[in-house]
Amino acid sequence: MSEAYDDAVDAITGALRDADTAVALTGAGVSTASGIPSFRGEDGIWERRDPTDFHRRRLDADPEGFWRDRLELRAEFFGDVDPTPNAAHLALAELESRGHLDAVVTQNVDGLHDEAGSERVVELHGTNRRVRCDDCGNRLPADAAFERAADGDLPPRCACGGIYRPDVVLFGESLSDVAMSEAQRLARDSDVFLAVGSSLSVRPASLLPKIAADSEATLVVVNFEETPRDSAADHVIRADVTDVLPAVVDRL
Ligand code: ZN
């Protein structure tokens, strides 16, 4: 499907204006504009670091080594970057505050939707902004735990004696049922479903647009590359998410 950019932006704006329920799904493409390297794909983090070092089994067998590698990963990829929300994050927060967007479902773990001011965010893979106790579930800002780890407190522990771990879904772990069912319910209830900056190739992100389309939602895909859901979409825009979303906000 090819459509002039302007017409597509107008169509999305109109659909959002008419929708009772609108939901956005965001992927790595929304984070890269904030200087966050992507995990998968060419030049992705997992091309350069061994994912098994960050597997659930590693945490169990060698929590100290797991944390040491995690510190390295953080220094290597995020050391000089203090990522801040970009125009796409801010536009989604603005859409929500104006009542044109009900929720953001994200594959990203950087917490930037939260920071941009989005109120209802479903983080499918958790967030790197926090750690949680593997035993009692107590949560803590990640910075505090990483500072302790950097000072040699390895692995950092909760007052209950349990080990703190990143509050993300590790390799070898399942997604939270709560997040998954909320995301599915949002997809099913949406009149407009915006899939932005996601290759839609990894479950569950690949499933959500299908659920939305099967429930007769207007499906919009904004992504540089082709996605497996393009053929089911009402509008496909191959452009930068940091251009498209602010353009939609401007026209509402
Ligand atoms: Zn604990």
Ligand 1 centroid – CA 74 distance (Å)? 23
Ligand 1 centroid – CA 7 distance (Å)? 53
Ligand 1 centroid – CA 135 distance (Å)? 5
**43-102 pLDDT tens trace:** 777 787 888 999 999 999 999 999 999 999 888 766 666 789 999 999 999 999 999 999
Point out the residues that are catalytic. Answer: 125
- The string of DSSP letters for the chain reads ----HHHHHHHHHHHHHH-S-EEEEE-HHHHHTTTPPPSSSTT-HHHHS-GGGGBHHHHHH-HHHHHHHHHHHHHHHHSS------HHHHHHHHHHHTTS--EEEES--S-HHHHHT-SSEEETTEEEEEEEETTT--EEEHHHHHHHHHTT--S-B-TTSPBEEEEE--BT-PPPHHHHHHHHHHHHH-SEEEEES----STTTTHHHHHHHHTTPEEEEE-SS--TTGGG-SEEE-S-HHHHHHHHHHH-
Percent of the chain scored above 70 by pLDDT? 97
CATH topology of domain 1-36+84-125+175-252: Rossmann fold (3.40.50)
Average pLDDT, the chain: 93
Ligand 1 centroid – CA 180 distance (Å)? 25
What's the pTM value of the predicted model, to 2 decimals?
A: 0.93
Q: Is the pLDDT of residue 3 over 60?
A: no
**198-219 pLDDT tens trace:** 999 988 889 999 999 999 999 9
**154-196 pLDDT tens trace:** 999 999 999 999 999 999 999 999 999 999 999 999 999 999 9
Domain range summary for the chain, segments of one domain joined by + = 1-36+84-125+175-252, 37-80+129-168
- Domain 37-80+129-168: which CATH class? alpha beta
